[in-house]
């Protein structure tokens, strides 16, 4: 069974640009969550999607948005990039919307110059 | 805002030594998870503890959930180089995907 796939693996952008990251869940997993990991703040929850609907949201500005498609694949978008958005963005998927195990992808390393 | 503080932040030990990592909070969690993350990879779930006072063992790793469900510990016996990594605790306050992650403990085990 293939794991959680995140693309691209690395990304370099400049301030003010926007970026779209992609996450393909494990087959059969319908819930996709996004986390931001930085050395200073650690891992912080961004949002979760289930059945194409955002179910939970963390404390991030509106520049951070996401969506989920009917095949459960998810994308997150960051607009008007700031230097502080440089981070590892991790996607985590699970079968349903309950208390099941989360499976993380390897992440997308975003550098904002 | 719920916070999870882990200690120590860094630990460098030799193979064969024992160690304990602590995860503390002022908040109550319905469950607590422990993850290990290796460079260039996402976290991998090691264990979930649910009941206050619960103890779980995974080979050389022993996990304990505090009676009040506010803290947890991870004890590794006879550490091996393969145990090297970033250990993260994560609390679930009832929304299983909106985890609150701890500050992390970076473990280095050398020969």
Contact by Cβ (8 Å): A7, A107: no
Q: Give the whole-angstrom CA distance, residue B31 versus residue B22.
A: 16
The residue of A42, A53, A60 whose CB has the most chain B CBs within 10 angstroms, and thus the best one to mutate to test that interface, is A42
Nearest to B104 among A42, A45, A105 (CB): A42
Nearest-CA distance from B99 to chain A in Å? 7
pLDDT digits (tens, 9 = 90+) for A75-108: 999 999 999 999 999 999 998 766 678 999 999 9
Strands in B55-58's sheet, in edge-to-edge order, are B5-7, B19-24, B71-76, B61-65, B55-58
C-alpha closest to that of B11 among B74, B99, B100: B74
pLDDT digits (tens, 9 = 90+) for B26-69: 989 989 999 999 998 999 999 999 999 999 999 999 999 999 99
CB contact under 8 A, A102 and B97: yes
Residue A7 pLDDT > 70: yes
Q: pLDDT band for B5, please (50, 70, 90 cuts).
A: very high
Nearest to A105 among B42, B90, B95 (CB): B42
Tokens of residue B76, six digits: 């590794």
Number of H helices, E strands in chain A: 0, 11
Nearest to A94 among B95, B97, B98 (CB): B97
pLDDT reported for residue A1: 62
Average pLDDT of span A44-64 = 94
Nearest-CA distance from A58 to chain B in Å? 8
pLDDT reported for residue B96: 61
Contact by Cβ (8 Å): A37, A109: no
Q: Give the whole-angstrom CA distance, residue A7 versus residue B43.
A: 17
Distance in Å from the first CA to the final CA of chain A: 37
């Amino acid at each position: 069974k293939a794991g959680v796939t995140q693309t691209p693996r690395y990304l370099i952008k400049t301030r003010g640009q926007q970026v779209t990251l992609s996450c393909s869940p494990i087959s059969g997993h319908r819930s996709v969550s996004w986390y931001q990991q930085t050395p200073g703040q650690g891992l912080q929850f961004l949002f979760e999607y289930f059945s194409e609907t955002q179910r939970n949201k963390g404390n991030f500005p509106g520049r951070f948005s996401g969506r989920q498609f009917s095949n459960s694949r998810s994308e997150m978008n960051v607009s008007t990039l700031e230097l502080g958005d440089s981070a590892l963005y991790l996607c985590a998927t699970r079968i349903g919307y309950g208390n099941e195990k989360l499976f993380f992808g390897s992440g997308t390393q975003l550098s904002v110059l | 805002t719920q916070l999870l503080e882990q200690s120590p932040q860094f630990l460098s030990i030799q193979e064969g030594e024992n160690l304990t990592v602590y995860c503390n909070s002022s908040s109550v969690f319905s469950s607590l998870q422990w993850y290990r993350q290796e460079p260039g990879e996402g976290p991998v779930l090691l264990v979930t503890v649910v009941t206050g006072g619960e103890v779980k063992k995974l080979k050389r790793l022993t996990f304990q959930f505090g009676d009040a469900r506010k803290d947890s510990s991870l004890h590794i016996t006879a550490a091996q180089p393969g145990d090297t990594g970033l250990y993260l605790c994560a609390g679930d306050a009832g929304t299983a995907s909106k985890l609150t992650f701890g500050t992390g403990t970076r473990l280095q085990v050398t020969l």
